[in-house]
């Protein structure tokens, strides 16, 4: 087994390539974030990390991703896939699980640089990890979440077959917002005409399906 089992993993869609984060890619991701991720008047994230970017220049971002990578373990893992279009990093797509071998559930989250939004990339990269989870890892349920007013994210979820699974209150900027929990059962997944291509899974499958 490779010393870092996720090193060779790659997902490919018709337009995108997704690979687990590496340091060089993370520096590219920081630059994407600095160019804008969302309207500054709104906060689409549960943790308002974009508010600190002007002051820390991405230091907190790097710490977050390094920390997630360092904590990967068979019963608790998150893979942060750097998403590339035509060789350039455009965003990140997370998929993770706890006690996957028993629960067969995954959680997903993502963001795209603002200038890459509106081209269907967000849908395509989420489909990539859903097919990866359902078809290659044997997941039964995928969970996600979005603010009640995040219409773009909620439209993607509805299009793919997610259903509402309750709400939880949160205050990322000190004002209460409703966070909508979403659930997608494998049987209800609305699939595209294409299938994700997966390479390098053999080296890491035991790590993430135990």
More confident residue, 202 or 46: 202
Query: At residue 172, does pLDDT exceed 70?
Result: no
**Average of per-residue pLDDT across 88-92:** 97
What is the pLDDT at residue 62? 95
Tokens matching residue 55? 């002051």
- The mean pLDDT of the chain is 90
Under 8 Å between Cβ of 152 and 118: no
Q: Which CB contacts under 8 angstroms, 24+ apart, belong to 97-100?
A: 97/139, 97/208, 99/75, 100/75, 100/137, 100/139, 100/208, 100/209, 100/210
Task: Encode pLDDT of 94-132 as tens digits.
Answer: 999 999 999 999 999 999 999 999 999 999 999 999 999
Report d(CA 165, CA 187) in Å as an integer: 16
Query: At residue 83, does pLDDT exceed 70?
Result: yes
Tokens matching residue 43? 């906060």
Residues whose CB falls within 8 Å of the CB of residue 62, separated by 6 or more in sequence, listed in order: 26, 30
Query: At residue 141, does pLDDT exceed 80?
Result: yes
Q: Let me know if domain 10-209 sits in CATH 3.40.630.30.
A: yes
């Amino acid at each position: 087994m490779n010393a870092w089992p996720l090193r060779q993993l790659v997902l490919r869609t018709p337009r995108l390539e997704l690979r687990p984060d590496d340091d060089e890619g993370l520096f590219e991701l920081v630059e994407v974030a600095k160019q804008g991720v969302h309207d500054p008047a709104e906060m689409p994230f549960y943790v308002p990390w974009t508010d600190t970017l002007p002051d820390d220049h991405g230091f907190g971002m790097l710490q977050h991703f390094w920390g997630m990578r360092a904590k990967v373990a068979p019963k608790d893992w998150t893979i942060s896939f750097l998403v590339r279009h035509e060789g350039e990093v455009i965003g990140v797509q997370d998929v993770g699980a706890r006690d996957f071998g028993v629960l067969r559930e995954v959680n997903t989250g993502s963001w795209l640089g603002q200038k890459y939004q509106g081209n269907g990339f967000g849908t395509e990269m989420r489909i990539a990890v859903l097919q990866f989870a359902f078809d290659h890892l044997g997941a039964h349920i995928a969970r996600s979440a979005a603010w009640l007013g995040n219409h773009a994210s909620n439209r993607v979820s509805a299009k793919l077959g997610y259903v509402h699974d309750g709400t939880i209150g949160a205050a990322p900027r000190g004002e209460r917002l409703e966070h909508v929990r979403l659930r997608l059962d494998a049987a209800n997944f609305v699939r595209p005409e294409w299938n994700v291509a997966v390479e390098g899974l053999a080296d890491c499958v035991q790590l993430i399906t135990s």
